[in-house]
Amino acid sequence: MASRLSTGIGLLDQRLDGGIPPGSIVALTAPPASQAELLLYEFMAPRETLYLTLDRTELAVADGFRRTAIDTGDPTVQYVTEESRVDHAIELFHDLPEHATLVVDPHTVIERKERSRLKEFMTQLRLHVIDTESVAVLHCLDGRSVPSLRDTTMHMADVILRLTATTAGAAVETRLAVPKFRGGRALTETLKLQLTDSVEIDTSRDIA
């Protein structure tokens, strides 16, 4: 088994004892009106990446890569067709190479299918990331309409990254929690992030 796979964020890797264990499914929950895509981009930077888009076009996703300050490498972007979406997504992620990153954006679309179909997707995904010693990152929108099967995703995922963004006065405060981590240690405190055109962890102490 390969060593830990980097998240692309050095300080986060340190907190996670080197990164994410290969063969893991990571669920990133985040508000739609946040800079969560920057975290996806960081995951892409260290490795070859297959990016499955379920709502935006391939052109729109590629344009996002072009605009970001983060070096995303040369990812392969595939649009998952509306017909037979679960089957098509499974077919596409079987092209994932070894020691790579798979991004599913947004996984929320899969969560709106039947429970049996979601479980089939997650089961097939787990087998493939284990076989390729890769990591899968599921972008789960945490907005006004959360799918009823979100609990199933959270239960089956190995690692949960929970991004929250709050506005206090003129400031936007973004925090990242890691409440679940199979094969490692969950974090007991949240990390304060600066999400502008890249991801930075604020290491200064909060002043009450």
pLDDT at 169: 80
Residue 18's domain spans which residues? 10-201
Q: Which residues of 175-189 are buried (b: 16+ CB within 10 A; e: fewer)?
A: ebbbebbeebeebee
CB 174 within 8 A of CB 194: yes
Q: Is residue 173 part of a domain?
A: yes
Bond before 106 cis per omega within 30 degrees: yes
Residues 6+ apart with CB under 8 A from 21: 1, 4, 5, 158, 182, 183, 184
pLDDT at 12: 96
Cα gap 103→111, rounded to integer Å: 15
Q: Is residue 110 part of a domain?
A: yes
Q: How many beta carbons lie within 10 A of that of residue 42, not counting itself? A: 22
Q: Is residue 122 part of a domain?
A: yes
Q: Is residue 119 part of a domain?
A: yes
Cβ burial, residue 30 (10 Å; 0-12/13-18/19+): buried
CB 157 within 8 A of CB 45: no
pLDDT at 206: 52
Query: Residue 38 belongs to a domain with what CATH number?
Result: 3.40.50.300
Structure tokens at 145: 């309409």
Q: Is residue 208 part of a domain?
A: no
C-alpha angle with apex 181: 176 to 186, nearest 5 degrees?
60
Tens digit of pLDDT per residue, the chain (208 long)?
Answer: 459 999 999 999 999 999 999 999 999 999 999 999 999 999 999 999 999 999 999 999 999 999 999 999 999 999 999 989 999 999 999 999 999 999 999 999 999 999 999 999 999 999 999 999 999 999 999 999 999 999 999 999 999 999 999 987 888 899 999 999 999 999 999 999 999 999 999 987 654 4
Q: Is residue 207 part of a domain?
A: no
pLDDT at 171: 84
Q: Is residue 206 part of a domain?
A: no
Q: Is residue 4 part of a domain?
A: no
> What's the number of domains the chain is made of?
1
CB 177 within 8 A of CB 187: yes
Cα gap 97→75, rounded to integer Å: 12
